[in-house]
Amino acid sequence: MTSSAYPNFKIHFAGLFRQAGNHITTLDTSIRIELARTKQASHGDYSCNLAMQLAKPLHKNPREIASLLINALPPSPYLEKIEVAGAGFINLFLKNSAKQQYLQHVLQSKTAFGHSDFGQGKKIQVEFVSANPTGPLHVGHGRGAAIGASLSSILAAAGFNVSREFYVNDAGRQMDILTLSTWLRYLELNNIRVPFPENAYQGNYVKTMAQLIQQAHDQRYVHQPALLLEDLSENIHETGINTDEQLDQLIASAKKILGQDYAYIHNFVLTEQLGDCRNDLMEFGVEFDTWFSEQSLFDNGLVAHTIQLLEKKHYLYLQDGAVWFRSTDFGDEKDRVVQRENGQFTYFASDIAYHLNKFERGFDQMINIWGADHHGYIARVKGALQALELDPEKLEIALVQFAVLYRDGKKAPMSTRSGEFVTLRELRQEVGKDAARFFYVMRKSDQHLDFDLDLAKSQSNENPVYYVQYAHARVCSVLVQWDGDMNNLVNASAEALSSSAELALLQKLIDFPDTVEMAAKEFSPHLIAFYLRELASEFHSYYNSTRFLVPEIPLQHARLALIASIREVLNNGLRLLGVSAPDKM
C-alpha cells in the first residue's frame, strides 16, 4: 500500500457490493449501500445490510441473497474473510496487514488526517450565537458558541467552504431599552433621579457604561431633565415603570429630548457591548468571518423591499392597522405581524429580509443554530422563504438546549437577584476554556446538558476532557523518553502489532475520518467528543499493560508508531472542538 493508496474502507467495500448487487440483479439507483462499524470484534470490522434491502424486491430470504452477494463480490486486497450473520447481515473482517499499514497514512497526513472532500467545496454558512448586544454573554450563549464553532471546524475538515456568521441585532426595541437604561444611569451620576424602569436593563455593566460616558463628556448629555420628569405621570412616579407601554413612552421622551445626541449614546452602548462580546468569544476560541448588521437591512432598503415582494405575491393583509404575513398557509399556528400600526417593521420582518440576503449571497446550504426556545420560529421563517419562492430545504435549524449548572451535586443558581445570568466569562474563569468547550459538546445539541462544575475542574479519569488530554500527554511523555527521530516511526513496519488491543486501536484510528464525516453529515459535534473519549479509554488500557521502550527495535518502533498516531488523532480531534492538547499535565 503506497501513501496515496489508502482507501476509505467503507467506500471501497460499498463499491464492491454495488458490483455484486448488479451481478445478481439490476440494482435500483436509489438503493444506498452503506457499511456500518460492528460493535463487537467477533462480528468483524464492518457490516452490510444490502441483502435485507433486496429481500422484498427479489422475493427471497435475506440470508440466501447474502450468500449470492458474497459469491459475486469482487476480490479485495484488504479483506480477510466474510460471513453471513443473523437475519442476513454480511460481516467483513479486515486483514491485519490492512490495519497495520494504515499507521503510515496517519503519520504522513499529520494535521490533515481526518480531513476529506465529502463536502466537495460547497458553500455553507453557519450562523450562531447572534445574541442581542445588550449585555454580557451568559452560559446559554456559551453552549451555542461551542457547538457552532466546533460544527464549523468539522464541516471545514469535511471539505465544505464554511462561512461563520454572527447576526448583530443592532436595530429595534432592545437596543433602545439599553440606550435608555444607560442614559438614566448617567443622569443619576449627575444627581438627577428618574424612576428606573423595572423592565429596563439592571446589570452593573449599564452603570459602568454610564460612568464611561460621564468621564468622557461630563454633563454634555444632561438635556432638559425637567422635560423628562414632566412626561412621567404622577401614577408612574408612585407605582414605578413596569409595563411595556410605559417603557416605550419613556424611550420616546428620551429620543425627543436628546435629539441627535440619542444616536451617540445608542452607538456608544452598541460598540461597548459588541466589543465585549467579540473579546469574550475570542477568549473562548470562537471567531467569525462576518458580523452582519441587522440595521444594514433597513439602511439599504432590503426590509421594505422584502415586504413589497411578499405583498406582490399576496401573502400579506391589513388588519387592525397592522400588516400581517399569512404564515398559517405554511404550517404556522397563527399569522404574524410584519409591520405594526405605527409603521415600524417587526423583528420577524427584518429576519425574513436577512434570510433573503443569505440566499442572494449564494450559499448552497445555511445552518442556523438557535436556542431551543426558538422552536416555534422555524415554521414561520421557512414559510416566508417558501412564499418568496426560495428552497426552505437549504436552511437547516439546529436547536440548542440550555445548560444547567451543578455544584456539590446541587443545581447552581443561574442568576443573581438583579436578574443577571451567570456569564460565559465567569464560567470560563471557574473551569477553564478547555473544560467549558468540551463539556458543552458532550451531548447532542437538542438534549439538556447538566454541567457539573466540580467534575469539570477535577483532575481525574471521571473528567472527560482531562481524561482525553491526559492520554495525549502520556504519549508525549513516552516519545520524550524515547528521544528518537520521528521519521523512523513514519516508515516503521507495524507488522508486530498483532494483539487484540493493538488491532482494536488500529481500527479505532481508521474510524476517525468516518467519524468526522458523520459529524458533518448529521451536524453533530458530540460524535467527535464520544470518539475521543473511547480512543482515550482504549489507549489508557493499552498504556497500563504495555512496555514501549523494549529492546527489540522493530517491536519498539511499531508500538511507538501506534501511540504517535494516537497522539495525532487526539490532537486533531481536540482541535476540531476548540480544545488544547497539552504535552504535559
Convert the pLDDT of each residue in 128-172 to its tens digit.
999 999 999 999 999 999 999 999 999 999 999 999 999 999 998
pTM, entire model: 0.93
Contact 479, 560 (CB under 8 A): yes
109 vs 6: CA distance, rounded Å = 11
Residues 6+ apart with CB under 8 A from 74: 16, 19, 20
pLDDT at residue 29, as a whole number:
81
Q: Does domain 100-118+460-576 have CATH number 1.10.275.10?
A: no
Please give the torsion angle defined by the CA atoms of residues 47, 50, 52 and 58, in that order, rounded to the nearest 10 degrees. -160
Q: Binning pLDDT at 50, 70 and 90, where does residue 389 land?
A: very high
CATH 1.10.730.10 residue ranges for the chain: 100-118+460-576
**Paired strand residues for 405:** 451
pLDDT of residue 1: 44
Whether pLDDT at 562 is above 90: yes
Q: Which CATH number fits domain 9-94: 3.80.10.10, 3.30.1360.70, 2.40.10.10, 3.40.190.10?
A: 3.30.1360.70
Question: What confidence tier does 240 reach under pLDDT thresholds 50, 70, 90?
Answer: low
Q: What is the mean pLDDT of residues 318-328?
A: 96
CB hemisphere CA count around 271 (13 angstroms): 8
Long-range contacts, stretch 477-484, CB < 8 angstroms, 24+ apart: 477/584, 478/548, 478/549, 478/560, 478/563, 479/560, 479/563, 479/564, 479/567, 481/549, 482/548, 482/549, 482/556, 482/560, 484/560
If we measure between CA atoms, which residue out of 40, 31, 29, 35 comes closest to residue 12?
35
Phi-psi region of 562 (alpha: psi -120 to 50; beta: other; left: phi over 0): alpha
Write the pLDDT tens digit of every residue in 465-504.
Answer: 999 999 999 999 999 999 999 999 999 999 999 999 999 9
| Residue 376 exposed, middle or buried by CB count within 10 Å (0-12, 13-18, 19+) | exposed
pLDDT digits (tens, 9 = 90+) for 326-369: 999 999 999 999 999 988 899 999 999 999 999 999 999 999 99
H or E element at residue 565: helix 553-576
Q: How far apart are CA 123 and CA 359, in angstroms?
A: 11
Query: What is the residue-averaged pLDDT of the chain?
Result: 93
CA distance linking residue 348 with residue 26, whole number of Å: 51
Ranges of CATH 3.30.1360.70 domains, the chain: 9-94
CA dihedral angle for residue 570, residue 576, residue 578, residue 580, rounded to 10 degrees: 20
pLDDT for res 234: 55
Q: Is the pLDDT of residue 461 over 80?
A: yes
Mean pLDDT of all residues in 563-575: 98
Q: Does the pLDDT of residue 416 top 70, yes or no?
A: no
Q: Residues 52-78: pLDDT tens digits?
A: 999 999 999 999 999 999 999 999 999
pLDDT at 26 over 90: no
At residue 5, the pLDDT reads 56
Predicted pLDDT at 412 = 84
